[in-house]
Amino acid sequence: MSIDLILCGASGRLGLEIIKEIENDSSIKLVACVSSKKNQNIGKKISEFTDFSSDTELKSSLEGVLKPDVILDVSSPDFFEEIVKFSKSNNVPLIVASTGHNDEQLNALKELSQSVPIMITPNLSIGINFIKKTFNSLPFSALKNNIQIHETHHKGKIDSPSGTAIELKNLLESKKEELNVSVKSFRDDNSVGIHKIIMNMEDETLEITHTANSRKIFALGAITAIKWIYRQTPGLYNLSNI
């Protein structure tokens, strides 16, 4: 038995990487792919404009799509309302791996999590989530009050700072009331994602850097998340829960 998946943001860089990994995993079945209405490949099968074998048609909305087992969103906040409405009306677990959402949208996810399993994970990398778990064991009382986060991505990334940097900032500031975490964003031609956390202590500096060498790491994280959220009860989760 396979897990039926709807992938929103299917034609983007990450979306295509996820499709590639799904083709190598028989436990997940891609039943619908959604992309922007402006995409020139709307109405075509994935196999018609990629090297993949999938015959799933690229759609511009969720209208008429049958109920799946899981929805994975790697699109943009522009499509948020339709995705949330579909998840709520069909009682389908939702993984939100897109970024740039406002407080109202995040609150909507929290409300939906009372009846549907919801995972919010701006970064699908296992490494980033390992860092987040590590923060839980650090002696934050020894840190000076200023921490810097430097994030670097390709110049095509829309949101700045990145959702991962914002999530790390919020996590760090929750550990010590006096902490002030600043974020600096950099953009270049081809960085997939680099996050550096610089923490000053008495006469020493601790730096933690995560470098994404390819988007495959995010696709593999997505596969892990899909298989996990499918079996969960309603609640609000992140990748660190796995």
The residues annotated with a catalytic role in the active site are: 153, 157
Buried b (16+ CB within 10 A) or exposed e, 199-208: beeeeeeeee
- 204-212 vs 193-201, strand pairing mode: antiparallel
Q: Kindly state the tokens that stand for 163.
A: 């959702």
User: Angle of helix 126-135 relative to helix 163-173, nearest 10 degrees?
Assistant: 10
Could you give the CA distance from residue 15 to residue 33 in angstroms, rounded to a whole number?
9
Alpha helices in 59-173 (DSSP H): 80-90, 103-112, 126-135, 163-173
Q: Which two structure tokens, joined as six digits, stand for 61?
A: 């909305």
Torsion sign, CA atoms 207, 213, 215, 219: negative
Give the 3-state secondary structure of residue 84.
Answer: helix
